[in-house]
C-alpha cells in the first residue's frame, strides 16, 4: 500500500514539474510581441521565438499583433455647413508601433479611435457644404488621417490611411441630386450633339469651298490652255498664209525669170496679159480695171488672133482665101 502511494505521489510530482516547466516556456509568433509582467509590474517585451519565464513570478499580460490592421466603423450622422445631415462610415488602417504604450496608455484603443474619428469627422465636415463634402473625399481623408495619427501617437498606434467608405445624404437630397445629374447629362448630350453638328457643318463648308476653289482653278487652267491653243492655231495659220503668199510670189518671180530666160516675144506677153484679164473677170470683184490704152488692147487682140491662127494651121497647107 505504501509503494502504491509513493508511486502516485511521484507521478503527481512529475506532472507538477512538467506543468511548471510548460508554463515557464512561452513561444511568441512572428510579427507579434508579448508584454511580460513580474509580480504585477512591467518587466520586458518578449520578442519572437522561445521565452523563459520564472514560474509564479512572471506572467504574460498580453500578446500584441504588430501587423497592419483594418477596422471599419459604423455610419456616423454628420451635419454639413448648409445644415444637411448625412451618414458617413469610415475605414481605418492602423499599425501598432509600441506594444508598451498600446497596452498601458489606453484601455480600449479601438473604441477610442472610433469615437475620435466620429468627433473629428463632424468638425471637418461641419466646415464644408454638401457639394464640397461629396467632391472633397481626398481632402477629408487627409485631414482626418493627420488628426488621428497625431492623437494616437501617444498610444503607440500609427494611422496609415483613412477612407470614407460611404456618404449617404437624405433621400430627398438624393432624389434632387439624381434629377440634377440627369439634367446635367442631358445638357452635356445636347452640347456634344450641337458641337458635332457644328463641326460637321464647318467641315462640309470647308469641303464645298475647297471644291469650288479647285473647280475654279480647273476652269481657269482650261481657259488658259484653250486660249493658248487658239493663239498657237492662229500663229500657225498666219505662218501658213504667209508661207503660201511667199510661195506664190516666189512662183510668180520664177515664172518671170523663166519668161525672161526664154526670150519670149510680144505675142506671148500679150497672151499672158489676156489670161490675166480673163482671171480678173472670173473673180468675185464688183469692179473691173481695164487699161486706158485701147490701142494697146486692140494690139493684144490682134496678136492673140495671129497667134491662134498660126497654132491652128497645118504645115504644108495654105491658108484659105478671105
DSSP 171-206: HHHHHHHHHHHHHHHHHHHHHHHHHHHHHHHHHHHH
Percent of the chain beyond pLDDT 70? Answer: 78
Sheet strands side by side (includes 58-65):
41-46, 32-38, 58-65
User: How many helices and strands (H and E) does the chain possess?
Assistant: 8, 9
DSSP 264: -
Closest CA to 33 of 70, 71, 60: 60
Percent of the chain beyond pLDDT 90? Answer: 20
- Which of the pair, 252 or 154, is modelled with greater confidence? 154
| 69-169 CATH choice from 3.40.50.1460, 3.10.105.10, 3.30.530.20, 3.30.479.30 | 3.30.479.30
Whether the pLDDT of residue 264 is over 60: the answer is: no
Predicted TM-score (pTM) of this structure: 0.52
Question: What are the grid coordinates assigned to 34, written together?
Answer: 508579448
Residue 153: CA count within 13 A, CB half-sphere: 6
Closest CA to 123 of 156, 172, 81: 81
Q: Which residues contact 62 (CB under 8 A, 6 or more apart)?
A: 34, 35, 103
pLDDT digits (tens, 9 = 90+) for 147-200: 999 999 999 999 999 998 888 888 877 787 788 888 888 899 899 999 999 999
The CA distance from 263 to 256, in Å, is 11
pLDDT at site 160: 92
Comparing 40-44, 230-234, 297-301, the range with the smallest average pLDDT is 297-301
Consecutive H or E run containing 61 = strand 58-65
- Which of the pair, 9 or 114, is modelled with greater confidence? 114
The CA distance from 68 to 10, in Å, is 49
pLDDT at site 157: 93
- Are 53 and 24 in contact by the 8 Å Cβ rule? The answer is yes
Whether the pLDDT of residue 237 is over 70: the answer is: yes
- Are 114 and 75 in contact by the 8 Å Cβ rule? The answer is no
Q: Which residues contact 36 (CB under 8 A, 6 or more apart)?
A: 42, 43, 44, 45, 46, 51, 53, 58, 59, 60, 61
Burial class (CB in 10 A: 0-12, 13-18, 19+), 197: exposed
Annotated domain spans of the chain: 2-64, 69-169
* Range of 4-8, 16-20, 204-208 with top mean pLDDT: 204-208
Angstrom distances, CA of residue 311 to CA of 34, 201, 304, 307, 308: 163, 95, 11, 6, 5
DSSP 35: E
Task: Please compute Rg for the chain using Cα positions.
Answer: 66
Look at strands 49-52 and 58-65 and give their pairing.
unpaired
pLDDT digits (tens, 9 = 90+) for 103-139: 998 888 999 999 999 999 999 888 888 888 888 888 8
pLDDT digits (tens, 9 = 90+) for 44-91: 888 888 888 888 788 888 888 899 999 998 888 888 888 888 889 899
Consecutive H or E run containing 27 = strand 25-28
pLDDT bucket at 256, cuts 50 / 70 / 90? low
- Average pLDDT of the segment spanning 27-51: 86
Question: Phi then psi for 71, rounded to 5 degrees?
Answer: -135, 135
pLDDT at site 129: 85
The CA distance from 67 to 162, in Å, is 17
Amino acid at each position: 500500500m505504501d509503494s502504491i502511494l509513493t508511486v502516485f505521489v511521484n507521478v503527481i510530482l512529475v506532472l507538477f514539474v512538467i506543468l511548471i516547466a510548460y508554463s515557464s516556456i512561452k513561444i511568441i509568433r512572428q510579427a507579434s510581441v508579448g508584454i511580460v509582467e513580474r509580480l504585477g509590474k512591467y518587466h520586458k517585451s518578449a520578442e519572437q521565438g522561445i521565452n523563459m519565464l520564472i514560474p509564479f513570478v512572471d506572467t504574460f499580460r498580453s500578446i500584441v499583433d504588430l501587423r497592419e490592421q483594418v477596422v471599419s466603423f459604423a455610419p456616423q450622422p454628420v451635419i454639413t455647413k448648409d445644415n444637411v445631415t448625412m451618414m458617413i462610415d469610415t475605414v481605418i488602417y492602423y499599425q501598432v508601433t509600441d506594444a508598451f504604450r498600446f497596452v498601458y496608455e489606453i484601455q480600449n484603443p479601438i473604441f477610442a479611435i472610433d469615437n475620435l474619428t466620429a468627433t473629428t469627422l463632424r468638425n471637418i465636415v461641419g466646415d464644408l457644404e454638401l457639394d464640397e463634402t461629396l467632391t472633397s473625399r481626398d481632402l477629408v481623408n487627409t485631414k482626418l488621417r493627420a488628426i488621428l495619427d497625431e492623437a494616437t501617437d501617444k498610444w503607440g498606434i500609427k494611422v496609415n490611411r483613412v477612407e470614407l467608405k460611404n456618404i449617404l445624404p437624405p433621400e430627398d437630397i438624393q432624389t434632387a441630386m439624381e434629377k440634377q445629374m440627369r439634367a446635367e447629362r442631358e445638357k452635356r448630350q445636347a452640347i456634344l450633339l450641337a458641337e458635332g453638328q457644328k463641326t460637321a457643318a464647318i467641315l462640309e463648308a470647308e469641303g464645298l469651298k475647297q471644291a469650288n476653289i479647285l473647280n475654279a482653278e480647273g476652269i481657269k487652267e482650261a481657259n488658259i490652255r484653250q486660249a493658248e491653243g487658239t493663239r498657237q492655231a492662229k500663229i500657225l495659220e498666219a505662218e501658213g498664209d504667209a508661207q503660201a503668199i511667199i510661195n506664190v510670189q516666189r512662183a510668180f518671180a520664177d515664172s518671170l525669170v523663166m519668161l525672161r530666160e526664154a526670150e519670149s516675144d510680144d505675142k506671148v506677153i500679150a497672151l499672158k496679159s489676156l489670161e490675166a484679164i480673163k482671171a480678173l473677170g472670173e473673180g468675185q470683184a464688183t469692179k473691173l480695171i481695164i487699161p486706158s490704152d485701147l490701142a494697146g488692147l486692140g494690139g493684144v487682140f490682134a496678136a492673140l488672133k495671129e497667134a491662134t491662127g498660126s497654132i491652128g494651121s497645118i504645115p504644108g497647107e495654105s491658108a484659105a482665101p478671105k
